[in-house]
């Protein structure tokens, strides 16, 4: 995943880290956000609401801190020492997304820390390791592979659908084969190449985080329409841009869970919190894209969709 968000608190009047939000309101917490990932924006919105409900300081975005993230964290650590001596609560630091978590870990900050990432899960266990930082609270959005398999079976009408991945095969790392095979087995899928003769029933533009390089979205969309199969994406920003189905984690809830973890750490900084998962996959369906691809979406699947974008014609009933 290419998420990036680094959220850090400021409880005193520290000039180097002082910031205001878009409305000019002074903020007590600060956020570094990678606006290229629409999921991060949803997590950030959920965090803001969660902090408000928990009556914690307001959070604002700081896109380019003076001296970089490491220097910013060092200044906050110095300010935190003053706050502790005065008997006031400190922190925590938040990092959302693997890149942001890596920055905080590299900085070696010992302030209370809350990390948030997204993972595909099998049996509710993350397929990829969570950030390694002993003492940090970790919250993750779990996209169940089994749920993805059920969706593809319903969409294709097959007990074991064949799927192709919209990845650059020439740049796919050898180490990625084993997790891909585990994904296929848990989802009940057959893997095939992206050629008409191989009979793929869907093209997956998914981010497993195994070192793969995704095809550019425009290329993946063109290929899906050539094959006449639905393009499946897990980037909520692609909804309405050509993907027939978009798989979306519960990002707003993830943000609120991050705020809840912050409240616990703020009350008891030495508390060790076990990793917590926010399970569930929302299914967003774009019938306009389905029409453009020549794909019929079964009515039963439409009835279960969490979000629906209507097309130019009514969908055909399953079996017709």
- pLDDT tens digits along 3-31: 333 333 322 333 333 344 443 446 677 77
The CA distance from 279 to 281, in Å, is 7
Tally of structural domains, the chain: 2
User: Does the N-terminal peptide bond of residue 92 adopt cis geometry, omega within 30 degrees of 0?
Assistant: yes
Domain that holds residue 304: 145-247+282-309
Q: What is the pTM of this model?
A: 0.83
Check whether residue 300 and residue 166 sit in a common domain.
yes
The CA distance from 224 to 243, in Å, is 9
Question: pLDDT at residue 137 above 60?
Answer: yes
Lowest mean pLDDT segment, chosen from 218-227, 281-290, 302-311: 302-311
Check whether residue 119 and residue 59 sit in a common domain.
yes
The CA distance from 281 to 304, in Å, is 12
Per 3-state DSSP, the chain is made up of helix, strand and coil in percentages (nearest 5) of 40, 20, 40
- Average pLDDT score over residue span 86-99: 82
Check whether residue 21 and residue 44 sit in a common domain.
yes
Question: Count H helices, E strands: the chain?
Answer: 9, 15
**Residue 235 covered by a domain:** yes
Check whether residue 51 and residue 76 sit in a common domain.
yes
Lowest mean pLDDT segment, chosen from 9-13, 107-111, 121-125, 145-149: 9-13
CA distances from 186 to 152, 175, 276 (A): 13, 18, 22
- The token pair at 53 is 């409900």
Check whether residue 191 and residue 51 sit in a common domain.
no
**Residue 320 covered by a domain:** no
CATH number of residue 29's parent domain: 3.40.50.2300
User: Looking at residue 318, what is its pLDDT?
Assistant: 44
Check whether residue 254 and residue 241 sit in a common domain.
no
């Amino acid at each position: 995943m290419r998420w990036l968000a680094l959220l850090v608190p400021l409880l005193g009047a520290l000039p180097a880290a002082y910031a205001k939000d878009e409305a000019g309101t002074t903020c007590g917490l600060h956020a570094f956000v990678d606006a290229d990932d629409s999921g991060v924006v949803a997590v950030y919105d959920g965090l803001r609401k969660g902090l408000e409900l928990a009556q914690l300081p307001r959070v604002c975005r700081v896109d380019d801190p003076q001296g970089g993230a490491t220097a910013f964290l060092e200044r906050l650590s110095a300010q935190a020492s003053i706050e502790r001596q005065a008997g006031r609560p400190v922190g925590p630091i938040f990092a959302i997304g693997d890149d942001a978590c890596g920055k905080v870990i590299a900085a070696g900050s010992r302030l209370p820390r809350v990390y948030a990432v997204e993972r595909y899960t099998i049996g509710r266990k993350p397929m990829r390791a969570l950030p390694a930082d002993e003492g940090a609270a970790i919250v993750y959005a779990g996209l169940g592979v089994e749920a993805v398999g059920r969706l593809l079976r319903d969409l294709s009408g097959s007990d074991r659908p064949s799927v192709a991945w919209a990845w650059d095969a020439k740049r796919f790392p050898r180490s990625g084969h084993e997790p891909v095979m585990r994904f296929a087995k848990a989802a009940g899928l057959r893997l095939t190449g992206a050629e008409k003769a191989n009979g793929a029933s869907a093209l997956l533009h998914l981010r497993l985080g195994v070192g793969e390089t995704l095809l550019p979205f425009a290329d993946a969309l063109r290929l899906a329409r050539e094959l006449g199969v639905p393009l499946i994406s897990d980037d909520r920003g692609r909804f309405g841009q050509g993907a027939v189905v978009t798989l979306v984690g519960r990002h707003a809830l993830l943000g609120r869970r991050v705020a809840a973890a912050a409240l616990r750490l703020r009350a008891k900084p030495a508390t060790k919190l076990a990793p917590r998962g926010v399970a569930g996959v929302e299914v967003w369906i774009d019938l306009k894209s389905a029409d453009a691809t020549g794909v019929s979406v079964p009515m039963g699947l439409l009835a279960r969709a969490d979000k629906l974008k209507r097309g130019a014609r009514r969908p055909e009933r399953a079996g017709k």
